[in-house]
A and B are shown apart, each in its own frame.
Chain A
Amino acid sequence: MSSIKPLAALLLLGAVGLQGCASQRSEESLEQAAASFQQVKNDSSVLRSAPRDVIRAGESLGRAERLSSYWGSGADVRHYAYLSQRYSEIAREHTNLVLNQERQAKLELERQRLQLALREAKLASVQQQGKWLEAQIVSLATMQSDRGLVMTLGDVLFDTGRADLKNAANRTVLKLVQFLQLNPKRTVRIEGYTDSTGAPEDNLRLSRDRAQSVADTLIDLGVDEKRIQVEGYGDQYPVEANASERGRAQNRRVEIVFSDDQGRLGAER
């Protein structure tokens, strides 16, 4: 008996010690959960966006606190503290989402306002330019080819080596937007081409950038981006021999391929 007693005492001490450690851990998780709950509870936008999650965080925390007064309930305390912590985090995350959605709605309104303003500004500038520019600058050829309806934007609408569309393209672009608004099912593929001067990879990039720049302008003016595909073909598929300056100028172009009225586009090249 005398040898067993110290052992039992040791075991008892060990058990109490373990319990002590465990209750310290419970204490910590309880404190953390309480701190998180305080934060969401005192945040008016959280209360507005995720009231139910806040209430649940509070309920779980209350449960953890009640349990913490019982001996040997450490695991339960930690469990409910964990749940409370999670509810607080979910509440915070839901709030972020709601705030983002509100910001998105505002941005969307601003975008529409700016699109309208841009359309008006372009119209005004077209009226100023007068008609002679169109004939001179825009090579606007629309034809029914085996690729469907194709419209060509000439080289003069871009500065050499640059991808930005010049203001001289406004009239054409506005016509294009108007056409797409009148034909909501039609989609377009915007294809960029260059002449054979320069490195092929530079040409490929430039052709793609120019096509993208036309696409961006259409999107800015309110055309849904889902209706627009963008391709760059570099110096492939020339329409004229690259031997003369005139031929090269003809090869530098952006072509807009229209789908049929059901939105079916011809195959890519």
Chain B
Amino acid sequence: MRTRPLFAALAVMALAGCAADPAPHEQLRLSEQALEQAKAVGATDEVAELKLAEAKLARARVNMASESFRDARVRAEQAELDARLAEARVLTAKSEEQIKVLQARVDRLHKQLGEQQ
């Protein structure tokens, strides 16, 4: 008799677990979008965060298929931010490259102006 309330409690918790975690379709869409976006600006597998994002999204899809919606949501949320960080890193690296080119130009102009005088 003593165990019955425990089972009941467990059952309620299990149900609550299910109720709290509907299929996170929207989150998966967001994560996919973030990954696309990162790739669009030129992120490749060489960016560690992009690799992470892809791996997590792949696992999230597996979780979706087996209806482990909680795990799917967690992984997809992380994948989204991993991808966004990858995108930001690529953009920063690109801007640094542009600054280098521009700086070289400016240096060359300074040098030419010096010779001209």
What residues make up the interface of A, taking CB atoms closer than 8 Å to B? 75, 79, 82-83, 86-87, 89-90, 93-94, 96-97, 100-101, 103-104, 107-108, 110-111, 114-115, 117-118, 121-122, 125, 167, 216-217, 219-220
Cα A220 to Cα B81 in complex, Å, equals 42
- Check if A114 sits within 8 Å of B92, measured CB to CB: no
What's the A-B contact tally at a CB cutoff of 8 Å? 75
Given contacts A108-B102, A117-B113, A220-B108, contact A79 B78 (CB under 8 A): yes
**A86 interface neighbour in B82, B96, B115, Cβ under 8 Å:** B82
A90 contacts which chain B residues (CB < 8 A)?
81, 84-85, 88
What residues make up the interface of B, taking CB atoms closer than 8 Å to A? 74, 77-78, 81-82, 84-85, 88-89, 91-92, 95-96, 98-99, 102-103, 105-106, 108-110, 112-113, 115-117
- Check if B108 sits within 8 Å of A107, measured CB to CB: no
Given contacts A86-B82, A117-B113, A121-B116, contact A97 B102 (CB under 8 A): no
- Check if A94 sits within 8 Å of B88, measured CB to CB: yes
Cα A75 to Cα B96 in complex, Å, equals 37
Top 7 closest pairs, chain A to chain B, by CB: A93-B88, A86-B81, A100-B95, A114-B109, A121-B116, A107-B102, A96-B92
- Check if B109 sits within 8 Å of A87, measured CB to CB: no
B102 contacts which chain A residues (CB < 8 A)?
104, 107-108, 111
Nearest CB in chain A to that of B97: its residue:
A100
B117 contacts which chain A residues (CB < 8 A)?
121
B108 contacts which chain A residues (CB < 8 A)?
216, 220
- Check if B85 sits within 8 Å of A89, measured CB to CB: yes
Given contacts A82-B78, A93-B92, A104-B95, contact A219 B113 (CB under 8 A): no
- Check if A100 sits within 8 Å of B92, measured CB to CB: yes
> Whole-angstrom distance from the CB of A170 to the nearest CB of chain B?
9
A-B contact pairs, 10 of them (CB 8 A): A83-B77, A86-B81, A93-B92, A101-B95, A103-B99, A108-B102, A114-B106, A118-B112, A125-B116, A217-B112
